[in-house]
């Protein structure tokens, strides 16, 4: 039972923190805890988290929120509004578009298919989808780790963020149409030679899921992940454009400084599909990533494959549809970031899955907002001593497709 609720009549912008007692995870862990699991994390710095969320709003987001699930309690913090027109306060129960967090869901389905001996990670994609790709050397593992060299078609689609979005917000693509857009451009590298983030990889993942199961990705997400974990706020509605139930509206920052943001809430997200079209909530994403690292979704061997990371930059590594972020206090956290028009998401968990956080800003196309939101991880996992940083956490722009964030 929630001991404190968000007060709808409170002055907008006030932070609400509430504690919720929750039962311990009942299912046993199927993977051994990593070395970090032996050391207890410091208590979350709730004041530091509040300050970060305030800075996100100050940088231009209509609202920002974060939900921490610490195993025995839930901490909630929210700032600003979910809807710029009605001025309804943003809450941590609002649903939203998760963007590239979808990639982890797609990777989990494929790893389950590996467990079922229906797929081999080091087999050519063309073994399962004959003739799809121009190079038989491109493997399933390379696709899931962004090492295929397939060009990211969204670089061209959203070269101009607002006009690019308006051109596709109501459009419905097939997977193969999106792959064809990629193949019109040279590949970024030889198969396996380098990491290069590309939405094309997880469009290919969606094609693999549908070919190997004979079902839509929606059906596979629902039967393999949503229903077993009781993710009641999580949906894949493509090609429908609406977010079911109470949700945060998402706002795309205009390309021209000073212009009004675009309400991007309603869209097909057909340009992304299995690379970025899932809708969820902070509670459900906390549950999902905790369950994943605890071994509740794959075998121990497949989870180990997922956690074979390639260094991306000074603090980020990438596995199979999974990121590792190394924080200033020496703690590493596991999850994914998400960017889709109108929404930035950070969803990460500790190595043992005992502390998870999902943070949201209902804005996009703003590097200021993005870098401010990235700072939520420090107070959540490092506590007070390491929660104040002299500069924003660096992010690779390619990892926040679509579009290069606007400096505003």
Cite the active site residues.
100
Place of tokens 């007070």: 384
Q: For residue 283, count CB atoms less than 10 angstroms from its CB and return exposed for 0-12, middle for 13-18, buried for 19 or more.
A: buried
Write the DSSP symbol of residue 279.
E
Can you state the angle between helices 367-374 and 46-58, rounded to 10 degrees? 180
Using alpha carbons, list the distances in angstroms from residue 168 to 109, 158, 267, 271. Answer: 27, 10, 8, 7
- How many angstroms separate the CA atoms of 213 and 110, rounded? 10
Of 230, 292, 223, the closest CA to residue 29 belongs to 292
Q: Which of 336, 325, 320, 340 has the alpha carbon at shortest distance from 382?
A: 325
- For residue 76, give both structure tokens: 């909630």
Task: Compute the Cα dihedral for 152, 156, 159, 163 and give only its sign.
Answer: negative
Burial class (CB in 10 A: 0-12, 13-18, 19+), 21: exposed
């Amino acid at each position: 039972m929630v001991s404190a609720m968000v007060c709808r009549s409170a002055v907008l912008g006030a932070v609400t923190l509430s504690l919720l007692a929750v039962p311990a995870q009942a299912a046993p862990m199927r993977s051994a805890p990593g070395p970090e699991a032996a050391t207890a994390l410091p208590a979350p710095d709730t004041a530091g988290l509040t300050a970060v969320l305030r800075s996100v709003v100050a940088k231009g987001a209509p609202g920002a929120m974060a939900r921490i699930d610490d195993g025995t309690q839930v901490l909630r913090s929210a700032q600003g509004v979910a809807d710029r027109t009605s001025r309804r306060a943003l809450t941590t129960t609002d649903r939203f578009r998760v963007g590239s967090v979808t990639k982890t869901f797609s990777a989990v389905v494929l790893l389950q298919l590996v467990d079922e001996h229906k797929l081999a990670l080091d087999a050519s994609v063309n073994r399962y989808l004959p003739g799809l790709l121009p190079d038989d050397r491109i493997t399933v593992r390379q696709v899931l780790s962004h090492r295929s060299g397939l060009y990211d078609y969204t670089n061209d689609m959203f070269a101009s963020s607002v006009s690019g979005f308006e051109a596709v917000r109501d459009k419905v693509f097939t997977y193969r149409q999106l792959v064809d857009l990629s193949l019109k451009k040279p590949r970024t590298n030889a198969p396996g030679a380098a990491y290069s983030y590309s939405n094309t990889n997880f469009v290919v993942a969606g094609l693999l899921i549908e070919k190997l199961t004979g079902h839509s990705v929606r059906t596979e997400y629902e039967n393999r992940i949503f229903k077993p974990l009781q993710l009641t706020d999580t949906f894949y509605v493509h090609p429908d454009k609406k977010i079911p139930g109470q949700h945060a509206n998402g706002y795309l920052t205009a390309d021209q400084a000073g212009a009004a943001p675009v309400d991007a809430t309603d869209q097909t997200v057909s340009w992304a599909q299995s690379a970025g079209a899932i809708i969820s909530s902070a509670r459900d994403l906390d549950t999902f990533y905790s369950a994943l690292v605890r071994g509740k979704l794959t075998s121990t061997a497949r989870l180990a494959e997922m956690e074979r990371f390639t260094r991306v930059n000074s603090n980020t590594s990438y596995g199979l549809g999974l990121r590792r972020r190394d924080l200033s206090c020496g703690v590493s956290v596991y999850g994914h970031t998400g960017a889709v028009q109108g929404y930035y998401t950070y969803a990460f968990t500790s190595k043992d899955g005992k502390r998870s956080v999902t943070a949201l800003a209902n804005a996009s196309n703003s590097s200021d907002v993005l870098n401010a939101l990235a700072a939520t991880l420090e107070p959540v996992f490092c506590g007070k001593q390491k929660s104040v940083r002299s500069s924003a956490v660096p992010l690779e722009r390619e990892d926040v497709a679509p579009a290069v964030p606007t400096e505003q």
